[in-house]
Structure 1
Amino acid sequence: MSLRRLISLPALLATVAIALSAQPAAAAVSWTQVSNTVDVSCAAFTYRQSADWFLPATASPKGLVYLQHGFSRSNGNMADLAEHYAAAGFVVVAPTLPSADIFGCTVSNLGNNSPFLNNVAALLGTAGNSSGALARSYANALAKAGRPASSLPTRYVIAGHSAGGEVAAYVANRLRSTYPSQYARVALVQLLDPVKSFIGSNMGTGLKGIAPTGLPVYAISSPPYTANSDANGTVELTNDLHRPFLGVRLTTGCHCDAEGASTDGLCTVTSGTPQQQNIAALQTLAVAWAGDAVSGTTTAAYYPGGGYYDSLIAAGVTQTLSGS
């Protein structure tokens, strides 16, 4: 059942004002979006998948955000959030992965998509090699944007919405087991209302694998309801990682919050319409946590006990997630 809480109008207005002032000013900082492709192996084939790149104005990006959409969605639905990361100084790559495929090469596990996700992990696993698929796609995006050639950033945030959250956890663990030098570059796994597949155990395998390493894993979730499979991905997270802070739940959130202004009728009809205070809180916290993770800092305002974080709690916008 969804958790709902009524808040007073003054408290709500105050929270929205704080959220809008605290989040990165996307309109004030320029970035460039480049529509491109990236090669991902599937069985005996190579799929050339859509991959949107968001290039920040700075010549020295903070890091790379790999941003994965959910089931029946595309990279276009993640553009609003991607722009906020880019405005804060991140290079963002948002690929589209299939939601249906006869070879099982899908974002959600509809049979056995583990071999395909191993190939998705290889994108980051070989990112340090200029001949790797992700590096080639980045070089091509820079050329399209008229930017000078540059290597990919060496600090990574792996973020995923819905079924993309399961991908994020699985990919991070695959890097740990197969590409340890690249895993050392992962600063944060960010789960946005994660949903685990009804088939298989990719999310549990991923989370349990990275749990002992201490890699930060933060979620921004909505309450349990049909659209997010009763928050089964968040339940998996809090069961597998026994940590006092694992992110927040938006108390009146919906499954489309992570898509923000990039959502569409397919999401809102099935999942509800995002409320502006929830979009603002999600974007603010996601970007702030990513920035801290790659820089090795802790900006107190965005964690329990900090001014912005506690204002969300006081207004009933968020609740703290912690491990069991």
Structure 2
Amino acid sequence: MKHAWLALMLTLNPLTSALADTVVYDAADGKVINAKLSIGGTAYSVDWYLPSSTPTALMTYQHGFSRGCGNHRNTSLNIMRKNVMVLCVNASMSGGNPALAKSFAQLLASRNVLAPGNIPLPAPIIVGGHSAGGHFATELGKQLVAYGYPYLKGAVLFDPVAQSGFTDNLMAISMNGSRPVLAVTANSNICNMYNNAYGALRQIQQFAASAGKSSFTGVQLTSSSTHVDSEGDNTDFLGYSACLSLAPKAANTGYLRTLSAAWVADIANGTHDDAYYPGGYYLSNLIGNSKAKLIQ
């Protein structure tokens, strides 16, 4: 469906947030606004992270199963501070919710949706998500590719849990290493299905390497990491007790937030800060101190 996004622009009506928006954060670096957004004919509660300067990209950041956007508040803020608009949808993530991902992709590809204040969305899109929301993000990315959307830039995932089709989704997003797919994962645990995303991550590594592109797909945090490290100080007892683990360590959440924000900024701006990749000082320090290892 090449260039189908152009046709969609002509057929879909503009959609904006409802008038009853709620500001949940307001500071010099930007705002967080909770609003309603119609996706596929259903109104969803969404959180918009709007940087104070004109954003360079939009990152969709999806929460995990039985969680909510608020559980990723500070990780999302950290990304917003890289001058990237972030959008999170409060929705069921059972099975990665591929039906919602398809409707959401259609909406984003239409280029008719506006952020609160009638702010146009940046054309470049990075898909992201945690746990089952990580699978949702890959479904969204694959659907954007299927709609012929030309501004998909890559994916950043947080301990994703693979569902059926995950490998094909990553292959579509990566396009043999032409677009980065990066992940921060935790130690093997029941909640990440014992790192069941690794097979797909390794496959896209192999295809990228064969094409002469970067095959780096991210890191596993190894020192008492938990499935909810991306939630960090926004998690709750249910979040980590369901995984039979202790509360996430502030250090691991800090590593995750530093790495992911740096990667998102690079993807958005077409840059490459060596510090946060193999051989760079920040990542080398984590690996050398047994805080992380490469996903291989």
Same structural fold, with TM-score higher than 0.5 when normalized by the shorter chain = yes
* One-letter code aligned to 2:255: A
Partner of 2:42: 47
Matches within 5 A, 1:134-149: 135-136=113-114, 138=115, 141-142=116-117, 149=118
Q: Quote the Cα distance in structure 2 between the aligned partners of 1:277 and 1:28.
A: 25
Instruction: Please give the per-residue CA displacement for 1:128-171, whole angstroms capped at 9, x wherever unaligned.
Output: 23xxxxx24x1xx22xxxxxx43211211111100011111111
Equivalent of residue 84 in structure 1, options 78, 93, 99: 78
Aligned positions, number: 261
Q: Quote the Cα distance in structure 1 between the aligned partners of 2:222 and 2:49.
A: 30
Is 1:249–2:220 an aligned residue pair?
yes
Unaligned stretches of 5+ residues in structure 1: 1-26, 99-106, 130-134, 143-148
CA drift at 1:227: 1.6
* One-letter code aligned to 1:118: K
Contact 1:78 1:94 in 2 (8 A): no
- Higher RCO (C-alpha under 8 Å, 6+ residues apart): 1
Indicate the RMSD between aligned Cα atoms, in angstroms.
Answer: 2.0
* One-letter code aligned to 2:89: P
Equivalent of residue 295 in structure 1, options 269, 275, 282: 269
Partner of 2:12: none
Task: Give the TM-score, by structure 2 length.
Answer: 0.83
Is 1:266–2:238 an aligned residue pair?
yes
Cα 1:293–1:277 shift into 2, 3 Å:
same
Contact 1:66 1:159 in 2 (8 A): yes
* One-letter code aligned to 1:298: H
Cα 1:233–1:29 shift into 2, 3 Å:
farther
* One-letter code aligned to 1:223: N
Q: Quote the Cα distance in structure 2 between the aligned partners of 1:248 and 1:151.
A: 34
Unaligned stretches of 5+ residues in structure 2: 1-25, 209-214
Partner of 1:109: 95
Is 1:188–2:154 an aligned residue pair?
yes
Give the secondary-structure state (helix, strand or coil) at the position aligned to 1:94. Answer: strand
Instruction: Please give the per-residue CA displacement for 1:209-244, whole angstroms capped at 9, x wherever unaligned.
Output: 234352110010001111211111233322344243
Contact 1:63 1:155 in 2 (8 A): yes
Q: Quote the Cα distance in structure 2 between the aligned partners of 1:223 and 1:276.
A: 16
- Percent sequence identity is 30
Cα 1:286–1:203 shift into 2, 3 Å:
same
Cα 1:108–1:240 shift into 2, 3 Å:
farther
Give the secondary-structure state (helix, strand or coil) at the position aligned to 2:278. Answer: coil
* One-letter code aligned to 2:182: Y
CA drift at 1:74: 1.0
More helix by share: 1
CA drift at 1:172: 0.7
Give the secondary-structure state (helix, strand or coil) at the position aligned to 1:257. Answer: coil
Cα 1:263–1:35 shift into 2, 3 Å:
same
Matches within 5 A, 1:151-170: 151-170=120-139
Equivalent of residue 229 in structure 1, options 175, 185, 193: 193
Q: Quote the Cα distance in structure 2 between the aligned partners of 1:261 and 1:29.
A: 22
